[in-house]
Structure 1
Amino acid sequence: MTEPKTYDLFIGGEWTRADNTDHDTIRNPATGEVLARVAIAGETDVTRALRTAQDAFPAWSRLVATERADYLYRLIELIRRDTEKLARIITSENGKPLKEARVEVNFAIQLIRFAAENVRRLEGNIIPGSRPGEKILIEKIPHGVVAGISAWNFPLALTARKLGPAVAAGNTFVIKPHELTPLATLALAELTVEAGFPPGVFNVVTGGGATVGNALVVSPITRLITMTGSTPAGRRIMAAASEGLKEVRLELGGKAPFIVMEDADLEAAANAAVAARFMNCGQVCTANERTYVHTAVYDAFLKRLREKVAALKTGNPLDDTTDMGPKISADELEKVDGMVRHAVEQGAKVELGGKRLTGGAYDRGNFYAPTLLTDVNGAMDIARNEVFGPVLSLIRVRDFDDAITQANDSRYGLSAYMFTQNLKYIMRMTSELNFGEIYVNREGGEAAQGFHHGYGDSGIGGEDGQYGLEAYVDTKTIYLNA
């Protein structure tokens, strides 16, 4: 058996040992197999990475925007070349089916490509002054050193989502991937060397949030913090960053409503509802967490859902025929199971699933059955708290007003879905549904040129597209007189 690889920290374009000898053990959530051992950075290691990025910033920021973009284009070609290798790394450390991991690699490419293509569109303004001959120049400038903190559910795409716009805009970058899934980011670090990135432009410090993440946030070197993760973690980061008056961008949890009206294409809606709930074992911030169905079509829709959920194949994520892999960890598995059991205690009915999968290969991983719950109502905990797992909760609604009211009754405001052919419903939805992004008559999956952002407990700021790219620059105002 091959000995698992040991990874050091990636600082200044090279692998460098951490000050301590501790390592995280990275395991395959489908098999329990040890994949690698990864260095755990200490506070001094984080400071070293930040200082290295700070030293690299002046030369990097002075490059012409298209020169910085050229490095990203070279990186894109290397990612494309290594698509299968990267997809297998993602699947092995995260557990998502290989076919979904390939989609994630492509999404990472699209995110970096958008930043490279659009960095010249970071445009300032010239405004007439208030004195004769004066002009007021408003210039877009990079922040300096950007710190990224990433989640485990999309280990490559979330790093790419932050890396692309950060370095395209002229910043240098230090990222902490999640301690459960650092391998895709470490593989990307190797590719930045091959792409010729100047030392210090991209750095990776691995380890837990309490030490590594906090050190990134509180350091006076860090000027912008971009984080994807849970709402409680986001609150802690915002509080820690307030001491230094840092700019913070937080993409946090979600509790997306999925609304099916009486005139919806039920087959298309059922396919989308299942895709939006069970992709990545339900571990997606935009996932369909609450399915609201008009009473006139409730029974017909339930029949379709039951058939489609029952047909999902759960198993080895490296098998191309697998539809759903394991939960990321045993703790996450127990959390979801506990939420389902509590929902049943509160009156929900288990139509399908509702239990851990056991026997054979299932015993080595964190597998939970695709679950369909009915008799759910908005007062139940499972309808209010983020599940982040393969549990579809079906809720009956009387009409459009009832659907909108229940959908908006949430502390989250990231994503929502609606299936209808009624233009009046669609027009009202645009102003009455309080979510940052809404998918109409389609499954989820944000586009690199869109803007991914939420309200309330779903975070502040946003990612992607031109609006997301603008977050990675600051402004400087110059009153110009001859």
Structure 2
Amino acid sequence: MFYKCFIDNEWVEASNGARMEVRNPATGEVWAEVPACTQAEVDQAIESSARAQKEWALLPPIERAGYIYKIAEGIERERALLEELLVKEQGKTLAEAAGEVTDTIRYMTYSAEAARRLRGDIFPSDNPREQLFIYKVPFGVTLGLCAYNYPLALIGRKAGPALVTGNTMILKPHEATPVTASVFCRIVEEAGLPPGVINMVTGTGAEVGAPLVESPTVRLITLTGSIRAGQAVAQASAKNITALSLELGGSAPFIVLKDADLDAAAEACAIARFANAGQVCICSESVLVEEAVADAFTEKLLAHVAKIKVGDPMTNGGMGPITTPGALERVEKIVAESVAAGAAIAAGGKRPEGAEYATGNWYEPTVLVNASADTAAVREEIFGPVLPVVRVADYEEALSIANDRPDGLSAYLWTQNPSVYMDAIQRLETGTIFLNSGIIGYIQGYHNGHKLSGVGGEDGVYGIEGYLQKRTVYQKF
């Protein structure tokens, strides 16, 4: 099936007729095509977004919110279709796809609810008969660059805040997962948004992403992706001093101390690592477990991993495939490098056996033991179903390993000692800390990284404010 792009409320193909294939991660089969857009479509999208933004920004926020509510209603109406498409293009299980659709609706409705809460500031002047105002105004044309792990939710996470604050948005989905973006735009069309408020183009980073990032008309770029992608976007957009919100990768440590609830920690760790086949930026990427409880914790962890079923994501409630062949190859390479350096495979470590796994991007839930801070699987963000276990002497060693990383997106800490976890709140160099908690993310929270894990952030009041810039007015009267 062919899914077109959406520009100025029109459905378009690439001007040269070129198309890209979309493959099912579970089978490797081509099941859809989208346009391989050119500079011509990029230019059309930019011009359309710029033209629409002026009038869109003049609408009262509550009127903009009305459109966003209609989009949320449309997503609910198309829930079954969207869930099926998410499974087919991304590989997550049907249950995980249902959760993603629900999260997308929540992102949109939370943004719409913020319409009456957008605010600026009034400060006293130093002079008589003068007032000092700080307004918060939209950037203008924004660009949403979405990763492949949550193709629909990331659109809601970006488009909702952008629209309610008076910006227009050009969506550029990942090449591997563009279909749900096209269906989202059909819902936008049905909601009656003015032409150009949402545009969507598909294609490669070189042919489509680069000219969008380099455009002087685009005034805010919001990217969810790898550190390498964020660095490339920052460099390419620098000449225009484009505002950036970069939600980048990280390698979250799961720290388990000797006083932890080992049963709860082991269960939470397995869920946090193998959700969405390990393709979540805040997944636990490595375990740093205190030596005194390392054997007991590892035994409990392996028991949970053994229960994870791998199979058809449409019917299996366990774990589906990795999304892209390139991501699978990277996982295999990191595991091989880790084993060559001394780590041992305690579970998994290969493609599952059986005819149903002969094609597609399958990999078993994998646990590596005898790992160290220098092991490749610990050092690098795996972004796949592999979990290395590192034994540490104490909290201070775990903290040192965690903070020595150049990234800092999230971290997990399991301990019953208030002095330790209060210390960690002050000293762990990361955007999110899960204290005696598994993987979670509330829409009213804030999702951001420290160090190489990005600038800006998403969600909550701070995420919405990120789509506004400030304008100061000194008014004499």
TM interval, short-chain normalised:
over 0.9
1:226 corresponds in structure 2 to 222
Q: Does 1:113 align with 2:93?
A: no
Residue among 30, 35, 39 paired with 1:39: 35
Q: Does 1:305 align with 2:279?
A: no
> What displacement does 1:83 show?
1.9
Instruction: Give the aligned residue type for 1:481.
Output: K
Residue among 307, 312, 317 paired with 2:313: 317
2:342 corresponds in structure 1 to 347
Q: Does 1:181 align with 2:205?
A: no
Alignment of 1:259-270 (within 5 A): 259-270=255-266
> For the residues of structure 1 that align with 2:260 and 2:48, how far apart are their CA atoms?
55
Q: Deviations over 1:311-362 (max 9, x none)?
A: 110010001x431111112221111111111111100010011112243110
Residue among 83, 90, 99 paired with 2:86: 90
Residue among 218, 234, 237 paired with 1:238: 234
Q: Deviations over 1:254-293 (max 9, x none)?
A: 1001011111111111111011110111111111111111
- Conservation of the 8 A alpha-carbon contact between 2:4 and 2:182: no
Instruction: Give the aligned residue type for 2:267.
Output: N
> What displacement does 1:121 show?
2.1
> For the residues of structure 2 that align with 1:276 and 1:20, how far apart are their CA atoms?
44
The alignment's C-alpha RMSD in Å is: 1.1
Alignment of 1:267-416 (within 5 A): 267-319=263-315, 321-416=316-411
2:168 corresponds in structure 1 to 172
- SS of the residue corresponding to residue 49 of structure 1 reads helix
> What displacement does 1:43 show?
1.3
2:23 corresponds in structure 1 to 27
> What displacement does 1:122 show?
2.1
Q: Deviations over 1:349-385 (max 9, x none)?
A: 1001111224311012110011011000102222111
> What displacement does 1:155 show?
0.3
Instruction: Give the aligned residue type for 2:429.
Output: N
> What displacement does 1:104 show?
0.9
- SS of the residue corresponding to residue 475 of structure 1 reads strand
Q: Deviations over 1:440-461 (max 9, x none)?
A: 1111121111110001221111
> For the residues of structure 2 that align with 1:128 and 1:311, how far apart are their CA atoms?
63
> For the residues of structure 2 that align with 1:324 and 1:382, how far apart are their CA atoms?
20
Residue among 5, 11, 21 paired with 2:7: 11
Instruction: Give the aligned residue type for 1:158.
Output: L
Q: Does 1:456 align with 2:451?
A: yes
> What displacement does 1:238 show?
0.4
Q: Does 1:254 align with 2:260?
A: no
> What displacement does 1:81 show?
2.2
- Conservation of the 8 A alpha-carbon contact between 1:47 and 1:219: no
1:423 corresponds in structure 2 to 418
> What displacement does 1:298 show?
1.1
> What displacement does 1:171 show?
0.4
1:143 corresponds in structure 2 to 139
- Conservation of the 8 A alpha-carbon contact between 2:407 and 2:451: yes
TM-score w.r.t. the length of structure 1 is 0.97
> What displacement does 1:193 show?
1.1
> What displacement does 1:71 show?
0.9
Instruction: Give the aligned residue type for 1:235.
Output: Q
Gap runs ≥5 in structure 2:
none
Q: Does 1:71 align with 2:67?
A: yes
> For the residues of structure 1 that align with 2:128 and 2:306, how far apart are their CA atoms?
75
- Conservation of the 8 A alpha-carbon contact between 1:28 and 1:93: yes
Residue among 158, 183, 190 paired with 2:186: 190
Instruction: Give the aligned residue type for 1:109.
Output: I
> What displacement does 1:129 show?
2.0
Residue among 438, 442, 445 paired with 2:440: 445
2:476 corresponds in structure 1 to 481
- SS of the residue corresponding to residue 76 of structure 2 reads helix
> What displacement does 1:179 show?
0.6
> What displacement does 1:240 show?
0.8
- Conservation of the 8 A alpha-carbon contact between 1:150 and 1:229: yes
Gap runs ≥5 in structure 1:
none
> For the residues of structure 1 that align with 2:4 and 2:360, how far apart are their CA atoms?
27
> What displacement does 1:59 show?
1.4
> For the residues of structure 1 that align with 2:263 and 2:77, how far apart are their CA atoms?
37
Identity of aligned residues (%): 44
Instruction: Give the aligned residue type for 1:133.
Output: R
> For the residues of structure 1 that align with 2:134 and 2:207, how far apart are their CA atoms?
38
> For the residues of structure 1 that align with 2:175 and 2:116, how far apart are their CA atoms?
35
Between stretches 81-90 and 159-168, larger displacement belongs to: 81-90
> For the residues of structure 2 that align with 1:128 and 1:431, how far apart are their CA atoms?
34
- Conservation of the 8 A alpha-carbon contact between 2:410 and 2:430: yes
> What displacement does 1:303 show?
1.0
> For the residues of structure 1 that align with 2:101 and 2:174, how far apart are their CA atoms?
17
> For the residues of structure 1 that align with 2:461 and 2:204, how far apart are their CA atoms?
31
> For the residues of structure 2 that align with 1:260 and 1:81, how far apart are their CA atoms?
43
Residue among 107, 111, 128 paired with 1:132: 128
> For the residues of structure 2 that align with 1:211 and 1:122, how far apart are their CA atoms?
37
- SS of the residue corresponding to residue 358 of structure 2 reads helix
> For the residues of structure 2 that align with 1:417 and 1:270, how far apart are their CA atoms?
12
> For the residues of structure 1 that align with 2:184 and 2:327, how far apart are their CA atoms?
27
TM-score w.r.t. the length of structure 2 is 0.98
Residue among 95, 119, 122 paired with 1:123: 119
> For the residues of structure 1 that align with 2:417 and 2:37, how far apart are their CA atoms?
55
Q: Does 1:152 align with 2:134?
A: no
- SS of the residue corresponding to residue 179 of structure 1 reads coil
Instruction: Give the aligned residue type for 2:370.
Output: D
